[in-house]
Structure 1
């Protein structure tokens, strides 16, 4: 009789173990997509607008940096742009109004000298034919006539150039200098915008690494946080359990601390490359087996938005 009772107890125990194994639960963690905000230019923090635990919207200003070097370069760049624009305008427009007036007056004076020399050479030419003047006198007057003509032609060319502006090569060179100065100013203006540390997404601020007055170097992380509405569940399973989980499968995740179940969809199944990435406590697997990370995204994000990160969740397989 004792043997029968013992046998029945063993059978019940085996059945219970089999049922427990069939309905084995694995533990995982509540996770959120993390985000880090870094500085692009060096500067001291002069203002902080958030504190740890705050929820911020995309585009919110988190902090302001003091950038004295950028301010100095901005003044230099603005001065260079003003100078380059003036050079280009001068090359295109040519001489000023007063310079044009001076050249017009000079032209008028030389014109009168040229016309007088022209009349004189005509009179002397007739007198030379009648032998009333010597050849020497005529040659001297003719030389003065040629000089007056050359000066008059020169001032005409100078006046035309002043009205038309500089040579096309000079204009092109001035335009290139202007474009280079404008480009340098735009570069400084872009750097100046980096004094404002802006939230790239809706997020929660978890850690602030620097305080007021501390120096932020390029690439240094200033804020760490979690992206809003990015909750997911992460589990670690052995390869012998992969047959029970498929990508796209709808599955039920239990939240122990709220005593609620949340429907989710298996979105990622990938092999773990490092033992330190294991999310499930004490995963049951053989040494030769590979471990895989299972990512489950809640079907209704509103149900999971208030879940606390890194809390334990369970999954029945």
Structure 2
């Protein structure tokens, strides 16, 4: 008797439905949300820490890439930061102590020349009134006086700038160059972290696409897997059966390979746009009927934790 029931159950699965007593057995599949891990920058794989079938936690290192270009750019960025810091420091602090001493000495020399020219022009001015010197001689002395005065005023301004530092515009420009250099260094540091391929979520590793020594290009999938605790059951149902299913409805699902019944809740009902997405092997529907995908989420995720993805499940409507 038990053997006959098993044979009948297999027949139900084969044809996709059992219409006795107005009940229909619909066949579906166990699914998990998929996730892929890709590389952001090109590099050769030098180490792989996982193998297919492993379960990893969020933040675990899956592989390490060799990216020699990053090391070269890091040295360049560090040199640019050192240079920019020195430029900004010089713009803010102004001249060095020795430069200030040289300017002070220059100021003293020009001051002596200016004071001497000032005294000379006063004497020649009185002599010119008494016609003791010619106008040409006075004009030449006055020109020298003006030159000495201009040089003295210039060195005072130069010394003042040296003490105060560069103009605010020059300081701002130097600060901008420093910030730019720090930004380039930070960009390199970010790229350097990308040599470590990290698990974005708790997941199981299903496939590893590259081997040691192979080149991983930007955007290339390195690892495929399933997100932890994302198991659900997917069924394909014709519209004639939709009246028996409602979103939020609790409904039991039977796992075929271990005959275990798991309670779930209907979380999604959506129309299928392509027959390639049909989950039921032999759905019973009329050609003019639309097909709908039913997603049932287990109420107790622990019960579904060990289920095998793509295995068969059944639903009775």
| TM-score range normalised by the length of the shorter chain | 0.7 to 0.9
Change (3 A) 1:18 1:205: closer
The answer to whether the aligner puts 1:68 opposite 2:64 as a matched pair is: no
| Residues in 1 aligned to 2:43 and 2:90: alpha-carbon distance in whole angstroms | 40
| Residues in 2 aligned to 1:25 and 1:19: alpha-carbon distance in whole angstroms | 8
- 1:72: Cα distance to partner? 1.7
2:230 aligns to what?
Answer: 230
TM-score (norm 1): 0.87
| Residues in 1 aligned to 2:165 and 2:84: alpha-carbon distance in whole angstroms | 16
1:300 aligns to what?
Answer: 300
- 1:276: Cα distance to partner? 1.7
1:267 aligns to what?
Answer: 267
Residues 91 and 171 of structure 2 are in contact (CA less than 8 Å); yes or no, is this contact kept in structure 1? yes
- Stretch of structure 1 that moved more, 199-208 or 144-153: 144-153
- 1:179: Cα distance to partner? 3.1
2:198 aligns to what?
Answer: 198
1:53 aligns to what?
Answer: 53
| Residues in 1 aligned to 2:149 and 2:114: alpha-carbon distance in whole angstroms | 5
The answer to whether the aligner puts 1:38 opposite 2:38 as a matched pair is: yes
How is 1:178-217 mapped onto 2 (pairs within 5 angstroms)?
178-217=178-217
| Residues in 2 aligned to 1:250 and 1:18: alpha-carbon distance in whole angstroms | 21
| Residues in 2 aligned to 1:139 and 1:311: alpha-carbon distance in whole angstroms | 111
1:4 aligns to what?
Answer: none
| Residues in 1 aligned to 2:311 and 2:94: alpha-carbon distance in whole angstroms | 76
2:143 aligns to what?
Answer: 143
- 1:71: Cα distance to partner? 2.0
1:156 aligns to what?
Answer: 156
Gaps of 5+ in 1: 1-16
- Stretch of structure 1 that moved more, 291-300 or 257-266: 257-266
- 1:139: Cα distance to partner? 4.2
Q: Matched residue of 2:32: which SS? A: strand
How is 1:121-140 mapped onto 2 (pairs within 5 angstroms)?
121-129=121-129, 137-140=137-140
- 1:136: Cα distance to partner? 5.1
The answer to whether the aligner puts 1:82 opposite 2:50 as a matched pair is: no
Change (3 A) 1:189 1:18: closer
Residues 73-117 of structure 1: per-residue CA shift (max 9 Å, x gap) = 222222223222322332333322221111111101111222233
- 1:262: Cα distance to partner? 1.0
* Structure 1 consecutive aligned stretches of length 4 or more whose deviation exceeds 6 Å: none
Q: Matched residue of 2:273: which SS? A: coil
| Residues in 1 aligned to 2:55 and 2:130: alpha-carbon distance in whole angstroms | 111
- 1:309: Cα distance to partner? 1.1
- Stretch of structure 1 that moved more, 254-263 or 172-181: 172-181
Residues 174-213 of structure 1: per-residue CA shift (max 9 Å, x gap) = 3333333333333322222211111110001111111111
Residues 18 and 24 of structure 2 are in contact (CA less than 8 Å); yes or no, is this contact kept in structure 1? no
CA RMSD, aligned part only?
2.2
Q: Matched residue of 1:246: which SS? A: coil
- Stretch of structure 1 that moved more, 163-172 or 55-64: 163-172
Count, aligned residues? 301
| Residues in 2 aligned to 1:18 and 1:151: alpha-carbon distance in whole angstroms | 110
